């Protein structure tokens, strides 16, 4: 029976598909680490208290990239180039979602509006990341090879999402509510399109590696389009709501120790 668990198990069991999966994941995490690092360095003076939290977010993303590379090394595998059509982070950036990389490469302070845009973009993408890692944790938390990594990354993504909720609510109270609502909606509607397109591309590459039949590939494509239809018709709203998280100041305090071996 085709299920999320059986699908990922198939990817996990094959060296070539696992190598592509980890390479895509590591690349996205590393890009996120760079973006957050640059934003932390460029926050305006009026928001300087956010800089350590943004830097912590970036450090977590860099850590996740190292974890995926460690999973490859554990199986004696090398990363492979990431196909451009599977690059979620870059496709979002090219679509004008979040802060442009050209802006982040300049040594010019960001504006408060830029910080709000960054947080709104992160609130949407961290929702996706948190849900994906929760799914992997549900099925593979006890897996001998990847369980520890999955649990660690999932906990971090939950913290990132909590931090975005809390900081956006703070900005809303300071009078930025209308802008936050607009940017969240724009980001969410764009993200669900990019997620659909990237999912289709990833499944296409995996199908060629694993030799999926035309019927199996068609079922998976239909499932991806079904998810997009649900999200387009209203599922996107879960990505734009703001609720004070149970865990406050999720990215405050000292940076955790280096990740243990996977």
Question: Structure tokens of 3?
Answer: 């299920």
Q: Tell me what pLDDT residue 73 has.
A: 97
pLDDT for 101-142, tens place per residue? Answer: 999 999 999 999 999 999 999 999 999 999 999 999 999 999
Q: Is the pTM of this model over 0.85?
A: yes
Domains and CATH numbers, the chain: 4-239 (1.20.1260.10)
pLDDT for 240-254, tens place per residue? Answer: 999 999 999 999 866
Mean pLDDT (the chain) is 94
pLDDT for 45-90, tens place per residue? Answer: 999 999 999 999 999 999 999 999 999 999 999 999 999 999 999 9
Q: How far apart are CA 192 and CA 239, in angstroms?
A: 10
């Amino acid at each position: 029976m085709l299920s999320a668990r059986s699908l990922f198990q198939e990817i996990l069991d094959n060296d070539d598909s696992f190598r592509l999966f980890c390479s895509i994941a590591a690349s996205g995490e590393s890009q996120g680490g760079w973006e957050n690092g640059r934003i932390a360095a460029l926050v305006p003076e009026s928001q300087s208290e956010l800089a350590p939290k943004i830097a912590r977010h970036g450090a977590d993303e860099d850590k996740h990239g190292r974890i995926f590379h460690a999973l490859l090394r554990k199986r004696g595998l090398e990363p492979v180039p990431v196909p451009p059509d599977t690059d979620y982070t870059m496709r979002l950036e090219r679509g004008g979602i979040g802060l442009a990389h050209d802006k982040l490469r300049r040594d010019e302070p960001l504006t408060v509006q830029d910080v709000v845009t960054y947080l709104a973009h992160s609130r949407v993408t961290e929702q996706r990341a948190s849900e994906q890692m929760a799914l992997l944790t549900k099925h593979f938390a006890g897996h001998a090879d990847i369980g520890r990594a999955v649990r660690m990354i999932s906990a971090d993504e939950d913290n990132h999402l909590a931090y975005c909720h809390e900081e956006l609510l703070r900005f809303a109270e300071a009078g930025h509510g209308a802008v936050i609502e607009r940017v969240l909606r724009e980001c969410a509607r764009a993200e669900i399109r990019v997620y659909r397109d990237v999912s289709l591309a990833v499944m296409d590459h995996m199908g060629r590696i694993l030799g999926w039949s035309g019927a199996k590939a068609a079922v998976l494509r239909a499932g991806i389009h079904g998810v997009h239809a649900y999200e387009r018709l209203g599922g996107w709203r879960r990505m734009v709501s703001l609720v004070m998280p149970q865990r406050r100041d999720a990215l405050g305090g000292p940076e955790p120790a280096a990740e243990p071996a996977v």
